[in-house]
Amino acid sequence: NAGVTQTPKFQVLKTGQSMTLQCAQDMNHEYMSWYRQDPGMGLRLIHYSVGAGITDQGEVPNGYNVSRSTTEDFPLRLLSAAPSQTSVYFCASSRSGTAPSGNTIYFGEGSWLTVV
């Protein structure tokens, strides 16, 4: 089982460039999300989606866009990269809903992004 697949794993961008981090899951999960991991800040939620066509903002959405055209895919777009967006990005998915539940959230392998 592939689970949650992210690409690319490593990327270096110049300030002002745009790019898309890809995320796909093969578990038919309705809920998908993006986190960023920074030293001393832990993991913070960027955006999330409860199903195809539905997205919403998390804690740190500025500078990022998402879309959810299919259940499987949830790409994260950096509109104009800034050094502050240097981070490790994780895509995650789980079974339905945002209501607090015991559904396990599964993470991808991460995308290491450096903005110079």
Tokens of 27: 């578990």
DSSP code string of 8-55: -SEEEE-TT--EEEEEEESS--SEEEEEEEETTTEEEEEEEEEETTEE
Output 28 or 102, the one with its CB closest to other proteins: 102
By CB under 8 A, how many residues form the interface with other proteins?
A: 29
Single out the residue of 19, 38, 43, 113 in contact with other proteins (rule: CB under 8 A).
43
Q: What are phi and psi of 84, to 5 degrees?
A: -65, -10
Q: Name the residue among 51, 110, 60, 53 with its Cα closest to residue 85.
A: 60
The verdict on whether omega for the bond into residue 8 sits within 30 degrees of 0, i.e. cis, is yes
The yes or no reply on residue 31 touching other proteins (CB under 8 A) is yes
Query: Binding to other proteins by residue 16, rule CB under 8 A?
Result: no
Q: Binding to other proteins by residue 1, rule CB under 8 A? A: no
Using the rule CB under 8 A, is 34 a contact of other proteins? no
Closest to other proteins by CB, 85 or 108? 108
Catalog residues that contact other proteins under the rule CB under 8 A: 4, 6, 31, 33, 40, 42-43, 45, 48, 50, 56, 58-59, 90, 94, 97-102, 104-110, 112
